[in-house]
Amino acid sequence: MAATAETVAAGEARRPDRFVVATAIVAGLLLAALIALETAPFLVGLFFVGGALGVGLYHGAFGFTGGWRRFVVHGRGAALRAQLALLALAAVLMVPVLATSGAGLTGAVAPVGLSLVVGAFLFGFGMQLGGGCGSGTLFTIGAGNVRMVLTLVFFIAGSVLGTIHLPWWLEQPGVDPVNLAAGLGPGGAIALTLALCAGLAWWVTRIERRRHGDVERRLLAGPRGGLAGTLFKGPWPLAWAVVVLAVGNLAVLLLAGHPWGITLAFAIWGAKALQAVGVDMAQFEFWTWDYPAMALADSVLVNVTSVTNFGLLAGAMLAAGLAGRFNRASLGRIPPRSLLAAAIGGLVMGYGARLAFGCNIGAMFSGIASASLHGWIWFAAAWVGSLIAIRLRPRFALAND
């Protein structure tokens, strides 16, 4: 998530925007009622979990994109440490559940190969230009950020293109999914995950201390105001967001049967749009596979990822309304070069997300929380892509704040 996302929740508190709050609640309840009427109770639950995730992302200003950039550019590591704490907590919560669930639940475990490395690299590159990652794009749109709508449109286009090319990429060198819990046991996988998170947090802290002489303590900071006011109007302490996102991912796992994902829905939405204008998507191998073929043919209201995304959008809109900041990130003129960056970033992110089996949420967060090796490789490859794109941001009139 980018500066656009983070600036949304920064600054002084404002009065709630009652119109946005009411609109978000009414729209959310109507959609929840439609889902309840037409589908299954677990999907209603997922919609509300998505809403909670949207509130957590917005009020916590939980930035993957911005957090990475802040560390690279300014040497400040609070956001990065919060992400590592999130990965560690989610692994502690989810690995035992996956290990004891039998065949009922499936982790985010995906192949490791050239497709993953190239896709994650592209995603990391694209998220710095696009101004947000998978979750960042969605929650900033929910908060009324107009520029991010352009990012999403191109994200969708890139996702569809990625699905068309994915079978070719899967023929390139690679190995089957590596589940660390299968090799090391659940306890060993959790211990390894905690050790890696702790090691990275130590490295981040060491660099921050060397550069600034001190270390930000935002992760452990308490609320700035009263408890109720902070809960509803934000901004939240980072630790609150960490807990909500980790527990939210566990809730998605328990309700849906698999962890939280975001970006496959974008490919489905794009493929549905193409199909609506007469394109036969069945000519592309990806759309003949069981899950994508059914997701394309059936309603978005029974698609787990779409329903969670709808909830996330509504939750972010509600949170932005409560904070009195809806549409705040869209004030002022948006430079054309920034719009070009949004388009390029969105397209590259979409393509990369399909090659890498998801975004920072579906592949990195859920992958690592499922003890899948591909989550860590995604992290490393996306980091390299981000490093390059951060240097390019000023050329697109994007501040490296």
Partner 1 sequence: MPETRRYSPLRLVVVLLVIAGFIIADHVGSPTFRRNMGEGGFETTLTQRESQAAACAPCGAPCPSERKDD
Interacting residues with partner 1 (CB under 8 A): 14-15, 17-20, 23, 27, 30-31, 34, 38-40, 103-111, 144, 163, 166, 170, 177, 256-259, 261, 264, 267, 272, 286, 289-292, 294-295, 297-305, 324, 326-327, 330-331, 353-354, 357-358, 362-363
User: By the 8 A CB rule, do 24 and 317 touch?
Assistant: yes
Task: Please report which helix (H) or strand (E) contains residue 296, including its range.
Answer: helix 290-297
Q: What is the DSSP secondary-structure string of 224-256? A: SS-HHHHHHH-PPPHHHHHHHHHHHHHHHHHHH
| Residue 54 or 362 with smaller CB distance to partner 1 | 362
- Closest separation between CB of residue 294 and partner 1, Å? 5
Residue 223, amino acid: P
Among 225, 238, 211, smallest CA distance to 85 is for 238
Residue 214, amino acid: D
| Residue 166 or 200 with smaller CB distance to partner 1 | 166
CA 110 to chain centre: 17
- Closest separation between CB of residue 322 and partner 1, Å? 12
Interacting residues of 33 by C-beta distance below 8 A, sequence separation 6+: none
Among 34, 98, 147, smallest CA distance to 369 is for 98
- Closest separation between CB of residue 208 and partner 1, Å? 33
- Closest separation between CB of residue 300 and partner 1, Å? 5
| Residue 298 or 401 with smaller CB distance to partner 1 | 298
- Closest separation between CB of residue 207 and partner 1, Å? 32
Q: How far apart are CA 140 and CA 153, in angstroms?
A: 14
- Closest separation between CB of residue 7 and partner 1, Å? 15
| Residue 238 or 361 with smaller CB distance to partner 1 | 361
| Residue 38 or 401 with smaller CB distance to partner 1 | 38
| Residue 282 or 294 with smaller CB distance to partner 1 | 294
